[in-house]
Structure 1
Amino acid sequence: MQRVGATTIKQIAEELGVHPSTVSRALNPSTRRLIGKDTIERIEQAAKKLGYYPNAAAASLRTGRSKLIGVFLPDISNPVFSPILSGIAEVTSEAGFATIVADVGTESRSQTEMMFELVARRVEGLILATVSRNDKLVQQCMSEGLPVVLVNRAESQMRVSSVTSDDAYGMRLAIDHLHQLGHRRIGHLAGPQNLSTGYLRGKGFNEAIIALGLDPSETPVVECSAYTRQAGAIAMNTLLAQKPHVTAVVASNDLVALGAYDALQKAGLKVPDDISVVGHNDMPLVDMVHPPLSTIRISHRELGREAARLLMSEINHDGSARRSIVLAPELVVRSSTRKL
């Protein structure tokens, strides 16, 4: 039995009676278009049979390219990031790239240290889901000449390409939905204002309140310290203490909304009989909580795909202009909201 990894391109070529360059092209995603489909299938079958695995280190030395990209996440346990990662991997794997995922938290120092570690590993670009509105890491990456694309969040200066959802519009969809159900006293559990998602969703809330002519004194806003269930519960308790007669609450994301569920239950209030709740993100499984959460759906997988496409384009120098892609969200109505 052949040792895994010992098979060479030359041996595959001898097995099939073709030139080694043909095998090399067929197994390289960037050149396989030059080879016929039937030949590619024969070569792939032979490679699998003989236990061939490409030597990434050798290829990197030979070509000067690592075929690696990095993805920075603020919290890998947040279900929102799974579909984003799937979308990224879908595009990068087709391009022959491998992905290093780093859970770097929110501390600037740890993010910078990880960036330099990946630079040492010769990554060809980064996708950042971690940025704040004024983010030092972006400038550090630019100083290193490292291609960078932002996903889900953006920075205020818009120095690099980004792919986000239309956060302000998503919030307006939520408010319009509640307004149509007869709600006039609507609270907002806002996200951290140093993040574009928190800032723009808060902006969308205020714009919708003004547009509908609602009384600002009856539409309280409480900022969450983080996008977590615990922070959502704390903010919901604060809001109830300030304005106990609100009839609906719009949360800055689904985890915050679940925290609101917790706080309302402890306060002896029922969703939606006493208070309607709307989330934001439509993260996996929120349709299975009780009651199923009405929310704003973001195309997270498509966010990942678009971010990866932009990064591949920058790495391959297919286009140097900065691009800002904004995807449209949609309202998903479930059982956590009801008519007054």
Structure 2
Amino acid sequence: MMKLTVKDIAKAANVSPATVSNALNNRKGVSEEIKQNVLKAARELGYTRETASDKSTIRLVIFKRHGYVVNDTPFFSSLIEGIEKECRQQGYQLLISHISIMEKDFREIIAGLNNDSASGMLILATEMLSEDLELFGNYRNPIVLLDSCLRDSNINSVLINNEDASFRATSYLIENGHTEIGYIGSSAFIKNFFYRRQGFLDALHEARIAVKKEYLISVEPTMEGAYRDMSAFLENNKNLPTAFFADNDTIAFGVMRALKEKGVNIPKDVSIIGFDDMPFCEITSPRLTTIKVFKQEMGSTAVKRLMSLMTEGGGPSQKIQINTELIVRDSVRDQK
């Protein structure tokens, strides 16, 4: 006997797959009459809770390539909280799996997930490359990538509008009279950082400001690593720009510590802008100007897109970029 699907019940009840999903999971928005009609059609087709228990499950895969970026930070905690809240509201159970390619058995773990009974899969793809996605090629149900997109694939994605965000941050520095602007980037590659660098360069190019290679600094994307690498840079480089854009807040925090230890006043001597708007931005000295990422909304959007794929097929593949907001605090000096 073939596996019973939501579409089978929808056809029998003459309603949409989304209505079937809502009725079976006792969600709001379905009249009692339609709900009973759906349940009647489901029973006649042999549906039981046991035969469809996996239909109310979403799996989140937290994928790590190197672990420098994807770790226990407020950014990812908030992102996952948004996923959990949306799953609860929609009546889905969330299962979380951690995959690290640094572990010997990661291929076996992924092979097991390819046979997973969950209705769909969210992959936290922050550190993911195209070759990593190929490992999930045998997964039969819908997949949505979160916090990255892979240009050579047709997978649905929900991510930050990185390029426009870094363009806005850099433009803010320029608007405040800065023409000597540096970039503090991550030594560990992720696509988010690639596009943030592109937005930074585009802003300088549009303002006809030359890019100075000596102001393009690479640091480890951890607070301690950024502090260490920036301290080493400052030992050998006395000339600094008047402002820096940092790939994220974690890097900015480490860099600020190194600058202050060398007697550099922020923002009097050097201004700095971060990215993410982590809670620590409010308690740094000075308070950090940064780009606010709507993390919970991003997680919620990813769940909604996955649900659309699970219940309705979803239509054409979508790349959904979530816009950001510049949060002005105290770490940028007006040079005009």
Q: What interval of TM-score do these two structures reach, taking the shorter chain for normalisation?
A: 0.7 to 0.9
Cα contact 2:126–2:192 (8 A) shared by 1: no
Q: Distance in 1 between matches of 2:187 and 2:87?
A: 31
| 1:23-62 equivalent positions in 2, closer than 5 A | 28-30=25-27, 33-35=30-32, 61-62=50-51
Q: Which moved more, 1:323-332 or 1:238-247?
A: 238-247
Q: Which runs of 5+ in 2 are unaligned?
A: 1-21, 34-46, 65-69
Q: What percent identity do the matched residue pairs reach? A: 23
Distance change in 2, residues 1:278/1:336 (3 Å)? same
Q: Which runs of 5+ in 1 are unaligned?
A: 1-24, 37-57
Distance change in 2, residues 1:165/1:309 (3 Å)? same
Q: Distance in 1 between matches of 2:108 and 2:297?
A: 29
Q: Distance in 1 between matches of 2:228 and 2:108?
A: 32
Paired residue for 2:230, among 236, 248, 251? 236
| TM-score normalized with structure 2 length | 0.77
Paired residue for 2:143, among 148, 157, 164? 148
Cα contact 2:114–2:136 (8 A) shared by 1: no
Letter in 2 for 1:237: S
Cα contact 1:150–1:162 (8 A) shared by 2: yes
Identify the residue that residue 284 of structure 1 maps to in structure 2: 279
Cα contact 1:189–1:236 (8 A) shared by 2: no
Paired residue for 2:183, among 169, 177, 188? 188
Task: Give secondary structure in 2 for the equivalent of 1:104.
Answer: strand
Shift of 1:222: 2.1
Distance change in 2, residues 1:114/1:69 (3 Å)? farther
| 1:1-340 equivalent positions in 2, closer than 5 A | 28-30=25-27, 33-35=30-32, 61-63=50-52, 65-73=54-62, 74=64, 75-105=70-100, 107=102, 112-119=107-114, 122-132=117-127, 134-192=129-187, 194-217=189-212, 220-225=215-220, 227-237=221-231, 239-240=233-234, 241-242=236-237, 244-340=239-335
Shift of 1:91: 2.0
Q: Distance in 2 between matches of 1:107 and 1:136?
A: 15
Q: Which moved more, 1:213-222 or 1:111-120?
A: 111-120
Equivalent residues, number: 294
Cα contact 2:281–2:287 (8 A) shared by 1: yes
Cα contact 1:128–1:151 (8 A) shared by 2: yes
Q: Distance in 2 between matches of 1:31 and 1:180?
A: 49
Cα contact 2:144–2:306 (8 A) shared by 1: yes
Distance change in 2, residues 1:162/1:192 (3 Å)? farther
Cα contact 1:134–1:157 (8 A) shared by 2: no
Q: Distance in 2 between matches of 1:66 and 1:323?
A: 23
Distance change in 2, residues 1:176/1:78 (3 Å)? same
